[in-house]
Structure 1
Amino acid sequence: MEGMNDDNMHGMMMHNTSDGGMNMTNHHKMMMHMTFFWGSDAEILFSGWPGTRTGMYVLALIVVFQLAFMVEGISHSRFMKPGSTKHVTAGLVQTLLHALRVGLAYLVMLAIMSFNGGVFLAAVAGHSLGFLLFGSRVFNKPSATVPAAKTSDLPPMSC
């Protein structure tokens, strides 16, 4: 095409038309950030989400916060009573909890890979509040029936 150089062709795509000709369309793609940035114009976890509306960005931050909070809740919880379930059942419950915890942790990691500063802070805040409520000694009193070494159904996460 005459008058078109590489600068003008950036973002342009050639498509075949039904009559055998070529059609040029302009596709704008969202830039992928490779460093932390601030702002509500981000793409988190899914293509096109949260979009450009500030309310959806705030909702995305709340979702990331809740995911991180749930990772800590699952990591420090006791769903099974000691000695009350069979070994096979206990193993299956532990496996299900582990899969859920790892899946949620990976979602938080993928959200952080958007390199949005707000998402990073929401994830850290969710993990911090979750640890404060479920893992620290502030709200948890040691029980005489549970050995000190066994405070949750799952072993600590190894990252």
Structure 2
Amino acid sequence: MDHDMGMAAPPPSTMVMMKRRHFMHMTFFWGTKSEVLFDQWPGDSRGMYALALLFVFVMSFLVEWLSHTRFMKPGSNKLSAGLGQTVLHLLRVGLAYLVMLALMSFNAGVFLMAVLGHALGFFFFGSRAFAKPHNG
């Protein structure tokens, strides 16, 4: 009896891909065995996992810094100021998307580091805690 229902066998390249299949979490989980941003990174190493957490923290902190820091002087050339603002916006949005992609690993440690990085970045650069007093 033929049970393949008229379907041909998959090509050999697909067979290799089937053997290499691994499980991807679709809910939050705790653990150091994860993939963050790149294939097989950080892998099974606790040191590399700590580095990945630090990387996510720094990226989210930089997003807040870029969001709340003014780099252009008020009297500068409009075209160069506009180009500068565009480049900074590009960096900020690019970093924000990388943080979002890291969060898609569904690793709870990555989530906590991203939130902590954004919170501390806002505290230092966006809140009034370190604001210079205005002389009126």
Identify whether the pair has TM-score above 0.5, normalized to the shorter chain. Answer: yes
Interval of TM-score (by shorter of Structure 1 and Structure 2): 0.7 to 0.9
In 2 relative to 1, CA 25–74 (structure 1 residues): closer, same or farther, beyond 3 Å?
A: closer
Aligned-residue offset at 1:140: 1.4
Q: RCO higher in 1 or 2 (8 Å CA, sep ≥ 6)?
A: 2
* Residue in structure 2 matching 1:69, options 61, 67, 70: 61
**How far does the alpha carbon of each residue in 1:58-88 deviate from its partner, in whole angstroms, 9 at most, with x for none?**
00000000000000000000111211x1110
Say whether the 8 Å CA contact 1:76–1:135 is kept in structure 2: yes
Q: 1:86 to 1:53 in 2, by over 3 A?
A: same
Distance 1:116 1:91 in 2: 38
Q: Does 1:115 pair with 2:106?
A: yes
- C-alpha separation between the residues in 2 aligned to 1:130 and 1:94? 20
Structure 2 residue ranges without an equivalent (≥5): 1-9
Report deviation, 1:30: 2.4
Q: State the TM-score, normalizing by the size of structure 2.
A: 0.85
Offset from partner CA, 1:107-136 (integer Å, 9 cap, x none):
000000100000000000000000000000
What residue number does 1:90 align with? 81
Q: State which structure, 1 or 2, has the greater radius of gyration over its C-alpha atoms.
A: 1
Compared with structure 1, are the counterparts of its residues 86 and 29 closer, same or farther at alpha carbon in structure 2 (3 Å cutoff)? Answer: same
**TM-score normalised by the chain length of structure 1:** 0.73
Q: Structure 1 vs Structure 2: percent identity of aligned residues?
A: 59
Partner of 1:42: 34
Aligned residues: CA RMSD: 2.2
Q: Per residue, is there more helix in 1 or in 2?
A: 2
Partner of 1:119, secondary structure, is helix
Shift >6 Å, 4+ stretches:
23-26
CA distance in 1, matches of 2:59, 2:80: 26
Give the CA deviation at 1:141: 1.7
Q: Structure 1: how far apart are the matches of 2:94 and 2:17?
A: 39
What are the ranges of 5 or more consecutive residues in structure 1 without an aligned counterpart?
A: 1-12, 17-22, 146-159
Match of 2:21 in 1: 29
Tell me if the contact between 1:14 and 1:24 (Cα under 8 Å) persists in the aligned partners: no
